[in-house]
Structure 1
Amino acid sequence: MGELSTNLDPEIQEPIVPEMRVHRNHPIDNIIGDPYAGVQTRHRTITENTSLYTEIFDTGVMETCLHAVFVSQLEPKNVKEALTENCWIEAMQDELSQFQKLHVWDLVDLPKGFQPIGTRWVFKCKTDDRHVVVKNKARLVVQGFYQQEGLDYNEVYAPVARIEAIRLFLAYATYVGFKVYQLDVKSAFLYGKVHEEVYVTQPPGFEDPHNINKVYKLDKALYGLYQAPRAWYETLSKHLLSNGFDRGQIDSTLFIRKAGGDILLVQVYVDDIIFGSTNEGMCREFEKVMKSKFEMSNMGELSFFLGLQVSQRENGIYLHQTKYVQDILSKYKMSDSTTYGTPIPVNHGLHPDRDGKDVDSRLDCGIIGSLMYLTASRPDIMFAVCLCSRFQSQPKESHMIAVKRIFRYLKGKPRLGLWLVSWQCKKQSTVSVSTCEAEYIAAASGCSQILWIQQQLRDYGLNFTGTPLFIDNNATMSITNNPVKHSKTKHIEIRHHFIRDCAEKYLIELVKVHTDDNLADLFTKAFDRSRFEHLVNLIGMFNPE
């Protein structure tokens, strides 16, 4: 046999008898870090490296790349847990520093006859549309359920924009052709003035050790107070009105400013503000007006508002809730389910099913509530969701199967969006003795919605009359146009007959539509896949992919 090849140095003599050596002790020189430091917990690691984090951010090195490292991915369950992490401590300190900047409260002794309202921390990981955590938000809120009417608050009503008003605003922006922007007011409710005498306890974890028995007297509103939204709206509206804006005649959350032939529109939904103008300079001026009084983020194009994802394109504004669809599919463990082409079968056969197997009513109500919120941009599931919602009091297994069918439909079309402004699917509260009467009542309801849109558009500077109202029932058109048929309609409630006045004043125009082209059928019936998809396309819904 020839010599075995080896990679040893020729000068090294290989022992004849091999030695078995086991290193019981790892060489200290190869150990990374201090071997005598002990176990490094998550809390100790964060605390000891605080100076390193500060140095990195002070120099601006890799600030963007390291963002996720310094933002917590988990929401603490309580303040005790939050106080163990620097990121949440900083978030709470930011909130309290905002209180000090805006002179929200004063530390005082509690007067006799008053009971302080408790406070608590709410922690939230803010995410973008890709589910990436971008910010840790800590908010101190008041336990408002302890408030007593007449003592802690009086008037609490604050106007809130309807979701139809938001969609109409976006539709007008598409029609005129201007970009829509949004502003985020930081801690908006803290700007509202409190007129009542309200005392709250010191924030948990940040009590003054030298004045442990004292409480805070509120000068500004905190989140959780019943009167907080009203106080914020009063502050905002006064500021806008004093800077040349006019309030909408119909919608008090709409503010308008005109200059020459240009117009600036501002729509307010509590502390969320969207605006747009035919003159880009007016948008920049509005931003300066807002920043002169309120602290807020920079102006940006509207992309996410009230759970709606907004895509502003050259040919219009596309609304969808893709992120929300993915969230509820994941929440209810339907992400891997098979898909269906329609949300409900033609012969669904849904009924109370008294003898069926019971299911968890809380789970059923939660699912229905999630789907109802989705109908803000998905009229294609409106009929199916409304039908399933009728059985929430005593849900059965057959009802849960129908609800899951809706999820399977959404799984196949998560990005379906729309251009539509307003729609409604509602079971009539009155009992009709004929199809004609039911159609007549439905037409009156549709007429009221048309009048609201007409009045809303007047604030935009547009006047419309003779709006077509499509009806596929000849008898309904005859009753509306011919009051002489009162003998056959005397049992119909008087409030439904205002449609006759609207037709006489030419506010609406009744137009006969063939049943095959009646878009309202999508909200009242179940169809096969081909007919269903045809109606979905007719109402303006589409999938951009």
Structure 2
Amino acid sequence: MTFVSQVELKSIDEALKDEKWIVAMHEELNQFIRNDVWFMVPKIDQINIIGTKWVFRNKVVESGGMITRNKATLVAKGYIQEEGIDYDETFAPVARLEAVRLLLSFACISDFKLFHMDVKRAFLNGVINDEVFVLQPPGFEDHQHPKHGEFGMSMMGEHSFFLGLQVKQSKKGIFLSQAKYYKEILKRFEMDNCKEAPTPMSTNCYMDADIAGIVVDQNKFRGLIGSLLFLTASRPYIMFAVCLCDRFQSSPKESHLKVAKRILKYLKGTTNVGLWYPSHSSKHLVGYSDSDIVGCKLDRKSTSGTCHVLGSSLISWHSKKKACVALSTTEAEYIAAESCCAQILWIKKHLEDFGLKVSKIVVALL
């Protein structure tokens, strides 16, 4: 395309030499003014000023080839703030993936298609009561600030790609997968030519702190675990193995990396696997809960697992080591059931927002 830059830049100095990226930056600042996000004030002495930084990204089509848009985002350097001085609490107002899967399942039940609309800028944060002082965006003087603009939206056609999730809609149902992301992760960690593994984890695998083990690059290990955690959005059966590896991020050893790489080897042979949501499914909501008593050999804590099914569509699941030690099998099961019921109430409230009232909910303790 001739209206977008083909190069993803790293610095503001490079962007200011490219008209297409300047337009993208003006769009960002234009939306700030339209939403009354900030206004200019004189610099105040003895006030901590938070810096800003431009982040430049190219948005591409699902196949990963053609660039459709240059997106410039201005972010505050929040990492220089101190708790109790510059902020009191943190939150991330983003869409939960369970909500996305719930919407897809509801679309199948109600037999309607989903379409994708792109909003140029969306501000999800609420009003901040405290005063926050941020530096003027680098590369722009006072006379260069953009004028007020209109709220921009564009129709993207039938819903097929969202937050790294590939959505295939048909009359028979919806297929949800992350095949494109799998291939990117395998290439990133140089595992695209590796041998395939039949399962995510060996049945006799035992993981501990491995104090005497060989230390590996912590950043690389954390990057791998973070990527695998995102893959659980459409692959529930790797959840336990990924969460088990996640426990050793503070001091990863070679043995931990070997187990994590086995998950990649399993994904290598199952890149086209995902979730299938059939059309005209029932509206029954069922929750399943289970727990292994003292499953962790290090601190004797239990690991609970839950999943939730709407009709024939799996929409929510998790595997988590509990914060306390259960004194009996019954107590461990009740703790897991509590997490299951809390998620069910959240799902029930969302279904009511869709206009679907669920009168009877089944909870199965396994």
Mapped to 1, the partners of 2:256 and 2:22 lie a distance apart of 46
1:121 aligned to 2:121? no
Name the structure with the higher helix share.
1
Deviation sequence 1:131-178 (CA, Å, 0-9, x none): 222222223333345568899778976754432222212211110111
Q: Distance in 1 between matches of 2:219 and 2:323?
A: 26
Pairing 1:387–2:244 present: yes
Q: Distance in 2 between matches of 1:193 and 1:392?
A: 35
Amino acid at match of 2:105: A
CA gap 1:199/1:471 in 2 versus in 1, 3 angstroms: closer
| TM-score, normalised via structure 2 length | 0.75
The letter of the residue matching 2:119 is V
2:191 is the counterpart of 1:330 = no
**Are the counterparts in 2 of residues 152 and 197 from structure 1 also a CA contact under 8 Å?**
no
Provide the secondary structure at the position in 2 that maps to 1:298: strand
When you count strand as a share of all residues, which structure comes out higher? 2
SS state at 2:318 partner = coil
Change (3 A) 1:364 1:85: same
2:153 alignment partner in structure 1: 296
The separation in 1 between residues aligned to 2:124 and 2:320, in whole angstroms, is: 39
Equivalent position to 2:114, from 161, 168, 180: 180
Tell me the residue number matched to 2:6.
73
For residue 320 of structure 2, what is the amino acid of its counterpart?
A: K
Q: 1:400 and 2:257 equivalent? A: yes
Match of 1:90 among 15, 20, 23: 23
Distance 1:164 1:87 in 2: 36
Instruction: Say whether the 8 Å CA contact 1:102–1:191 is kept in structure 2.
Output: no
Q: Tell me the C-alpha RMSD between the 2 structures.
A: 3.6
Distance 1:310 1:367 in 2: 24
Deviation at 1:341, TM superposition (A): 1.7
Flag structure 2 segments of 5+ consecutive residues without an equivalent.
Answer: 278-313
Q: Which residue of 2 aligns with 1:167?
A: 101
The residue that corresponds to 2:316 in the other structure is 422
CA distance in 2, matches of 1:428, 1:108: 49
What residue is the counterpart of 2:162 in the other structure?
Answer: 305
Alignment partner of 1:139 is 2:73:
yes
Q: Deviations over 1:313-367 (max 9, x none)?
A: 2122221111211111111111111111211122223333232222122221221
Structure 1 residues 369 and 107: CA distance shift in structure 2, 3 A = closer
User: What CA distance in whole angstroms lies between the structure 1 residues aligned with 2:364 and 2:90?
Assistant: 41
Q: Distance in 2 between matches of 1:163 and 1:384?
A: 20
Matched residue count:
328
1:130 partner SS: coil
- Contact 1:335–1:411 (Cα < 8 Å) also in 2: yes
Q: Secondary structure at the match of 1:462?
A: coil
Deviation at 1:405, TM superposition (A): 0.6
Asked if the contact 2:10/2:55 (under 8 Å) is kept, the reply is: no
SS in structure 1 at match of 2:205: coil
Partner of 1:463: 357
Distance in 2, Cα, partners of 1:184 & 1:373: 22
The structure whose RCO (Cα within 8 Å, separation 6+) is larger is 2
- Deviation of the 1:307 alpha carbon: 2.3
- 1:202 is matched with 136
Mapped to 2, the partners of 1:120 and 1:172 lie a distance apart of: 40
Query: For the residues of structure 1 that align with 2:152 and 2:185, how far apart are their CA atoms?
Result: 34
Partner of 1:509: none
2:234 aligned residue: 377
Note closer, same or farther for the CA distance 1:151–1:401 as it changes in structure 2 (3 Å cut): closer
User: Rg bigger for which structure?
Assistant: 1
SS of corresponding position for 2:250: coil
Name the counterpart of 2:220: 363
* Cα distance between partner residues in 2 of 1:395 and 1:155: 29
SS at match of 2:317: coil
1:150–1:369 Cα change, 3 Å: closer
Is the alpha carbon distance of 1:196 and 1:316 closer, same or farther for their aligned partners in structure 2, counting shifts above 3 Å? same
Cα 1:107–1:397 shift into 2, 3 Å: closer
CA contact (8 A) 2:93 2:125 kept: no
SS of the counterpart of 1:422?
Answer: strand
| Kept after mapping to 2: 8 A contact 1:99/1:190 | no
User: Which SS does the other structure have where 2:169 is aligned?
Assistant: strand
Q: TM-score, normalised by structure 1?
A: 0.53
Q: Matched residues in 2 for 1:80 and 1:459: separation? A: 47
Match for residue 413 of structure 1 among 253, 267, 270: 270
Secondary structure of 1:401 counterpart = helix
* Cα distance change on mapping 1:98 and 1:389 into 2, 3 Å: closer
Check conservation: 1:379, 1:423, Cα contact below 8 A.
yes
Aligned to 2:288: none
How far 1:380 sits from its partner (Å)?
Answer: 1.5
Amino acid in structure 1 at the alignment position of 2:61? D
1:123–1:139 contact (8 Å) kept in structure 2? yes
1:351 aligned to 184, 187, 208, which one? Answer: 208
Quote the Cα distance in structure 1 between the aligned partners of 2:125 and 2:218. Answer: 41
What is the distance in 1 between the residues matched to 2:108 and 2:92?
A: 29
Amino acid aligned to 1:305? F
Give distance in 1, aligned partners of 2:215 and 2:131. 50
Give the C-alpha shift of residue 454 in structure 1: 3.1
Q: Counterparts in 2 of 1:141-160, with a 5 A limit?
A: 141-145=75-79, 160=94
Aligned position for 1:441: 335
Distance 2:50 2:328 in 1: 56
What is the alpha-carbon distance in structure 1 between the residues aligned to residue 121 and residue 192 of structure 2?
36
Tell me, in whole angstroms, the C-alpha distance in 2 between the residues paired with 1:390 and 1:146: 27
Distance 1:317 1:84, change over 3 A: same
Q: Distance in 2 between matches of 1:137 and 1:455?
A: 34
